[in-house]
Structure 1
Amino acid sequence: MAETEFVIEPGRQDIVIKRVFDAPPDAVFEAFTDAEAVARWMGPRGYTLSIDRWDPKTGGSYRYETSGPEGTDAFHGSFHEVTAPRRIVQTFEWEGLPGHVTLETAEFQELEGGRTRYVGTSVFQSVEDRDGMAASGMQQGVNEGFEKLDEILASR
């Protein structure tokens, strides 16, 4: 099973997430941009994700809701750059805390053997916002989501 690396350095406003997937960049990129795939893998186990809007192109936007044991939350953002199969730049905002927007960059790097290194960087407006996200259980949700993504990629 692949390990997810989280880089959360004291005093910085970013979180960097790294993981290797056993699939080529085009397949991983598609899993990040296809609404049906995203709804299947994003977030922790035990939660469902329903997409209200998903337009993964430069200038597009999205909105989705997650539902689970702790209730329902909604998130939205804009796609600033979508360059297949290498890069996605988007904003991310939890509707429960409006005005705290994160800028996220996802890069998909081709590795030998048909594998992909994913590097995701989230830049927060403040160290406090970043620390709040780091303390929110985000790591568990990302790990479980990526485990589900591994399962989807293996079934293709």
Structure 2
Amino acid sequence: MKTRNPTRIEADPDLPVIRIIREFDAPRERVFRAWTDPELFVRWIGPRSIDTTVDVWDARTGGEWRYTARDGSGSFEMGFWGSFHEVRAPERLVQTFSFEGAPDGVSLEAMAFEALDDDRCRIVATSVVESIELRDQIVASGMDVGVVEGYEKLDALLESEA
């Protein structure tokens, strides 16, 4: 699927940081809601081959979250969890992020939701991990497929909710 809004994934060579930048053809209030409303979140997060269920979701400053991703065949199941450090609608979301495959590999993710002209929005997501080696493992893991396909699913969701 070709999108008019490409996803940029950047890894600073000198820092254990991953930055993801993407524009959406929807107002930032709707994009922010898609990140914080569990019923919307499960409809777009991750690659097309994965279904997501929310186990815990308390999208407020100091709240926690946990979801499970599964493929249709039952051969893949992975849990993800974290805390909502700051939820400031519609402009900022800061959370921790861990997954079962690397329980010692927590990251801190800060997302800025920037309002653009014509009721559009840009997100800038910055993730900080413990080391450059861990950052390189994450980037090499295929995470780009899940991010890009997830954002394409989010495009379709935002268009259908317009």
1:100 CA drift (Å): 1.0
* 1:75 is aligned to 2:83: no
Residue 85 of structure 1 aligns with which residue? 90
Residue 63 of structure 1 aligns with which residue? 66
Q: Distance in 2 between matches of 1:35 and 1:139?
A: 22
1:93-130 Cα distance to aligned partner (Å, 9 max, x none): 01221121000011100000000011000100111111
* 1:114 is aligned to 2:119: yes
Question: What TM-score results when the alignment is normalised by the length of structure 1?
Answer: 0.97
Residue 96 of structure 1 aligns with which residue? 101
Q: Distance in 1 between matches of 2:60 and 2:99?
A: 21
Question: RMSD of the TM alignment (CA)?
Answer: 0.9
Tell me how many residue pairs correspond in the alignment. 156
* 1:40 is aligned to 2:46: no
Residue 157 of structure 2 aligns with which residue? 152
Residue 134 of structure 1 aligns with which residue? 139
1:149 CA drift (Å): 0.2
Q: Distance in 2 between matches of 1:97 and 1:124?
A: 12
Residue 13 of structure 1 aligns with which residue? 16
SS of structure 2 residue aligned to 1:100: strand
**Structure 1: which 5+ runs fail to align?**
none
Q: Distance in 2 between matches of 1:7 and 1:128?
A: 15
Residue 57 of structure 2 aligns with which residue? 54
Q: Distance in 1 between matches of 2:156 and 2:99?
A: 27
SS of structure 2 residue aligned to 1:28: helix
Could you tell me the percent identity over the aligned residues? 47
**Structure 2: which 5+ runs fail to align?**
none
- Higher mean C-alpha deviation, range 53-62 or range 66-75: 66-75
| Runs ≥4 residues deviating over 2 A | none
Q: Distance in 1 between matches of 2:153 and 2:35?
A: 12
1:20 CA drift (Å): 0.5
